[in-house]
Amino acid sequence: MPHQQTSPQQSSPHPPSSDTGTNRSQPSAIVETLEHRRFAEFCDACRRYGYIGLCYGPPGVGKTLSARNYSRWDKVKESDRWDSGPGQVPTLDTVFYTPSVVNAPGNVSSDIRRCRDTLRDLAIRPLRLEKEERLGVIRRRDEEYHAKLLYEIDWLAESLPECHPTYGEVAKEYSIKELQIRDPTTLILIDEADRLRMASLEQVRAIFDAGEISVILIGMPGLEKRLARYPQFYSRIGFVHEFRPLGISEIRQLLEQRWTPPGVHLPAKPLDQETVAAIIRITGGNFRLLNRLLTQMERILEINALQEVTKAVVEAARESLVIGEA
């Protein structure tokens, strides 16, 4: 049986992969599973028809990861909203928001407004870059013009002629263009919606009612029953989506493709059916557990200097995880 404990001499040369958990700060590679595609279609429908949507599912099935991927929120986090350097700015129109554990209505409103302002600033960036480039040309033109006139006119007897368009005229022109760019947000994904109390839910409803924008609440099973007690809010829910665990065929397909979490490297040798069955039984279709189990399997292989994944390796990896009865 493979050992589980590491020693300083046997520590892994690779940093452990980040778990695919809720509210994780580091991006993870998304797996295009059937549930992820169904979730994307659900978001598209809510956006198209202008409804409040409700998505619920057990922990670890990939709700947060799918929502972050759909909104491309990691691209927003990677972007410097005040950066004036070159680069392509993707068109981003979806806010991904996780309320804090203690969430007053005013905080929810200001947090979501801040997220929407970030998307608008990113939408304005191409125009801002164009503005800075054009103003730079005008600035250099004026400097050269003034240097030339310094020795050609009598500054005391004559007024300095201006070049058109002036710096101020161009700056005003672009300021007007920036005001004409509307808020690009058309959908708000609210993760961990179970944290929202009634007053905060009413604030979300007010945001929904105030403009042409859709909202999706993402949470645990039972969220739909809780919201049913608030008729004013529940009547605005147009679509409900249950995020289900991975199917057996999907897990088999992932394992056959030798998929692993980011930073995890397992032997390329195909897994035998007994090993695959053990992984399926232990994870039960839970995507987060699959990530953690594969990560621990890499660790067990390195500790024991093994070159092949077997059922014994899987069982040893399972013993080091807190995942309940298999």
Domain ranges of the chain: 8-22+247-319, 34-121+182-242, 124-180
pLDDT confidence of 67, banded at 50, 70, 90? very high
| Measured CA angle at 114 (ends 110, 120), to 5 deg | 140
Whole-angstrom distance, CA of residue 238 vs CA of residue 193: 17
Q: Which residues have a Cβ under 8 Å from the Cβ of 210 and sit 6 or more positions away?
A: none
pLDDT confidence of 160, banded at 50, 70, 90? low
Whole-angstrom distance, CA of residue 295 vs CA of residue 315: 13
What is the value of pTM for the model shown? 0.78
Whole-angstrom distance, CA of residue 250 vs CA of residue 165: 62
Q: How far is CA 41 from CA 47, 90, 98, 218, 244, in A?
A: 10, 21, 21, 15, 15
Q: Render pLDDT for 7-53 as a digit per residue (tens, 0 to 9).
A: 333 333 333 333 334 444 444 455 678 899 999 999 999 999 999 99
Q: Which residue has the higher pLDDT, 160 or 14?
A: 160
Q: Is 70 helix (H, G, I), strand (E, B) or coil?
A: helix
Least confident stretch, 23-37, 142-156, 198-212, 231-245: 23-37
Predicted pLDDT at 39: 95
**How large is the average pLDDT for residues 279-296?**
92
Predicted pLDDT at 101: 93
Share of the chain above pLDDT 70, in %: 82
Predicted pLDDT at 155: 60
| Burial of 139 (C-beta count, 10 Å sphere; 0-12/13-18/19+) | exposed
pLDDT confidence of 211, banded at 50, 70, 90? confident
pLDDT confidence of 281, banded at 50, 70, 90? very high
Predicted pLDDT at 6: 38
Predicted pLDDT at 182: 87
- What value does the mean pLDDT of the chain take? 83
The pLDDT of residue 248 is above 50: yes
What is the bridge-based pairing of β-strands 214-219 and 187-190? parallel
- CATH class held by domain 34-121+182-242: alpha beta
**Of 138, 6, 26, 124, nearest in space to 74 by CA:** 26
321 with 296: CB under 8 angstroms?
yes
- Of 187-191, 210-214, 220-224, give the range with the top mean pLDDT: 187-191
